[in-house]
Amino acid sequence: YDQARRQLLGPPAARGVLHKQHLNACIDIPADHWILPFLDAPGACEISDVKVNPHYKDRRFAREEDIEAFLTVPLRACGQTVGLMFVNYRTRHVFTPAERADVQLIADLAAVAIYNAKLKEGLAIFTRSLLAADSVEAVRKVAVTEAVHLMGSDFSDIVMREPNGDLRVVEEVGWNRDRIMNFRMSPGYTSHSAYTLNVLEAVAVDDFDSERRFMVPEIVREHGIKSGLSAVLYGGDVPIGTLLVH
């Protein structure tokens, strides 16, 4: 599952399925899709008698696969939902606490494995894209584009320090481009990027509305940005800018 794109990635791994032709390779999930409540649920959801449940008794998977009970568990790792596990029965079944605990353990292990595999794949694509870039501008574009994809964020930008000390956005994804590309911060303005370059470490912001370590530019609030993460960019051993995701 791609949480940022709200897309099911497949085909899914499955055992015991009768009609494998319905295991789609990739599905964009409409806003009213029946699977969304399970993906967004805080934990496991149990339907112990599908045949009498008005929401699921007429679903294709219930009719054609003859499913009478199922348990779903969102697969989550590092704050991201990476999939959904179904445990299905062709007989009516009430899941015991021990069974639910076992399924949760398997789901947690699967989530970590999927997250790591996706991260490794994403980093490999990132590396290939960087190597294929033929200019500084192309490298910057790849960096912000892949940062959004890898982090599942809505925004990303690169801020560089100019010779006079000003900080300037040189590439972005998600912002109003005309506004953000003309946005500059003077040396005396303590912004997220300036603070990051001062402490020389990644800086996470859980809530910009309550942030007190530095000033938050109005353009951040105008875009409805609530949280963010920054990292220092180096030129050799010299800090030259920041990469941010929001």
Taking the C-alpha atoms of residue 6 and residue 36, their distance in angstroms, rounded to an integer, is 9
CB 71 within 8 A of CB 87: yes
| Residue 204 in this model has a pLDDT that exceeds 90 | yes
For residues 152 and 205, the model is more confident at 205
Q: Are 223 and 130 in contact (CB under 8 A)?
A: no
Residue 26's pLDDT is 59
- Determine the Cα–Cα distance for residues 232 and 234; give it in Å rounded to an integer: 6
Alpha-carbon dihedral of residues 93, 96, 98, 102, nearest 10 degrees?
40
Secondary structure, 3-state, 91-148: CCCCCCHHHHHHHHHHHHHHHHHHHHHHHHHHHHHHHHHHHHCCCHHHHHHHHHHHHH
Asked which of 13-27, 90-104, 190-204 is least confident by mean pLDDT, the reply is: 13-27
Mean pLDDT, the chain, whole residue set: 89
Q: pLDDT above 90 covers what percent of the chain?
A: 57
The pLDDT value recorded for residue 80 is 87
For residue 156, give the H/E element and its range. strand 156-161
How many other C-beta atoms lie within 10 A of the C-beta of residue 19? Answer: 10
Tell me which of 33 and 245 has the higher pLDDT.
Answer: 245
Cα separation, 246 vs 153, whole angstroms: 6
pLDDT over 90 at 105, yes or no? yes
Residue 25 has what pLDDT? 57
pLDDT, one tens digit per residue, over 165-199 is: 899 999 999 999 999 998 888 877 788 999 999 99
Looking at the predicted structure, is the pLDDT value of residue 228 above 60? yes
DSSP state of 233: E
Show Cβ contacts of residue 207 under 8 Å, excluding neighbours closer than 6 positions: 226, 227
Using the predicted structure, report yes or no on whether residue 15 has a pLDDT greater than 90: no
> What is the Cα–Cα distance from 192 to 230, expressed in whole angstroms?
8
Confidence of residue 127 (pLDDT cuts 50, 70, 90): confident
pLDDT at 3: 83
pLDDT of residue 230: 96
Q: What is the mean pLDDT of residues 229-233?
A: 95
**CA-based torsion, 57, 60, 66, 72: positive or negative:** negative
Higher-confidence residue of 203 and 130: namely 203
Q: Residue 83 in 3-state DSSP?
A: strand
Separation of alpha carbons 204 and 227, rounded Å = 8
If one compares 60 and 159, the residue with the highest pLDDT of the two is: 159
What digits encode the pLDDT tens for the residues 25-83? 556 778 788 888 999 999 999 999 999 999 898 988 899 899 999 999 999 998 889 99
What is the average pLDDT across 132-142? 89
